[in-house]
């Protein structure tokens, strides 16, 4: 493990099937733990700003690359079902003794909802769904999948990859320094850059973006008994007014935090607004100083 100047260290976890899960961990382990789970095709670096804000707000934070993404290992059998991702989350949480808040964007939100549906231990004390609902808009999810399936031949340069991202997400200003994009790409021996995730995720039950499992997600939603926040990008093509109302129908206590001028990648589009909304929600429901857990999942 290694520490950065903010006290955040890299930590490796091993899953039940031996896969490597790579995480950044920071903050006080005696405080509530916030787990950050990124969307399909992203890496833990998409949460960098949010992680710093949450550590500064007094939380322990675990921010990990999902199986098949970033520096984490790929599934040997090419399977990436939500159940397998929940098992990976359980491995990450195995030694946690503080209340846990699950924060998941898109694919990560699906994982969080499945985790509650499958009674993960330790149990979640709060849930934050970032621009994802049980029944997302099919047009928006198909657009995401189409982008993820594009450019299988990779890119000759980082600039070419940046052009592809800008074409997909034209409302977000292109950064002056595209060097950060390298964290989402792997440079192979042929000298070309490829997305930093396993393309087999889009096969079969490994659909990395939701849309084909609404009834299962609704069944999981019915089991939610913890404070839940939906962070919605108002420019998103994935979450609609109708899908929000359906979510609220099955979870009447649902809180909604709308972020103007943000698309599906809310944290990347409006990081400060996103951080403020999530920190305020967590401070109300899982404040720093909340008790540690006993052996049965309750607080001491």
pLDDT in tens, the chain (300 residues): 455 556 899 999 999 889 999 999 999 999 999 999 999 999 999 999 999 999 999 999 999 999 999 999 999 888 899 999 999 999 999 999 999 999 999 999 999 999 999 999 999 999 999 999 999 998 998 888 888 888 989 999 999 998 998 888 776 667 677 777 888 888 899 999 998 899 888 875 544 445 458 999 999 999 999 999 999 999 999 999 999 999 999 999 999 999 999 999 899 889 999 999 999 999 999 999 876 655 434 444
SS (H, E, C) 259-300: ECCCCCCHHHHCHHHHHHHHHHHHHHHCCCCCCCECCCCCEC
Specify the DSSP class assigned to residue 137: -
Can you tell me the distance from the alpha carbon of 22 to that of 201, in angstroms, rounded to the nearest whole number? Answer: 18
76 close to 69: Cβ distance less than 8 angstroms = no
Note whether 101 and 203 are within 8 A (CB). no
How do the domains of the chain map onto residue ranges?
A: 9-285
Q: Which residue bears the tokens 């595209």?
A: 178
Rounded to whole angstroms, the Cα distance separating 121 from 96 reads: 9
CATH code of domain 9-285: 3.40.50.1820
pTM for this entry: 0.90
The enclosing H or E element of 194 equals strand 193-195
């Amino acid at each position: 493990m290694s520490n950065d100047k903010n006290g955040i260290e890299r930590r490796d976890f091993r899953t039940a099937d031996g896969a490597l899960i790579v995480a950044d961990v920071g903050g006080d382990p005696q405080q509530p733990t916030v787990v950050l789970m990124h969307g399909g095709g992203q890496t833990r670096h998409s949460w960098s700003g949010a992680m710093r804000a949450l550590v500064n707000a007094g939380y322990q934070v675990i921010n990990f690359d999902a199986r098949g993404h970033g520096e984490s290992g790929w599934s040997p059998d090419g399977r990436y079902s939500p159940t397998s991702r929940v098992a990976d989350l359980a491995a990450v949480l195995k030694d946690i003794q503080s209340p846990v808040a699950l924060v998941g964007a898109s694919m990560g939100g699906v994982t969080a909802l499945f985790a509650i549906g499958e009674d993960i231990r330790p149990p979640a004390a709060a849930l934050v769904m970032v621009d994802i609902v049980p029944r997302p808009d099919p047009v928006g999810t198909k657009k995401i999948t189409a982008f993820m399936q594009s450019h299988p031949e990779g890119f000759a340069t980082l600039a070419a990859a940046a052009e592809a991202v800008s074409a997909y997400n034209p409302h977000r200003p292109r950064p002056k320094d595209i060097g950060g994009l390298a964290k989402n790409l792997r440079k192979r021996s042929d000298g070309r850059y490829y997305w930093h995730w396993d393309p087999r995720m889009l096969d079969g039950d490994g659909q990395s973006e939701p849309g084909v499992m609404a009834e299962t997600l609704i069944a999981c939603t019915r089991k939610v008994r913890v404070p839940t926040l939906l962070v919605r990008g108002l420019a998103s093509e994935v979450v609609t007014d109708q899908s929000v109302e359906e979510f609220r129908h099955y979870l009447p206590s649902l809180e909604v935090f709308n972020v103007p001028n943000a698309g599906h990648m809310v944290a990347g589009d409006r990081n400060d607004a996103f951080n403020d909304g999530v920190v305020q929600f967590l401070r109300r429901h899982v404040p720093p100083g909340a008790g540690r857990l006993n052996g049965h999942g309750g607080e001491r």
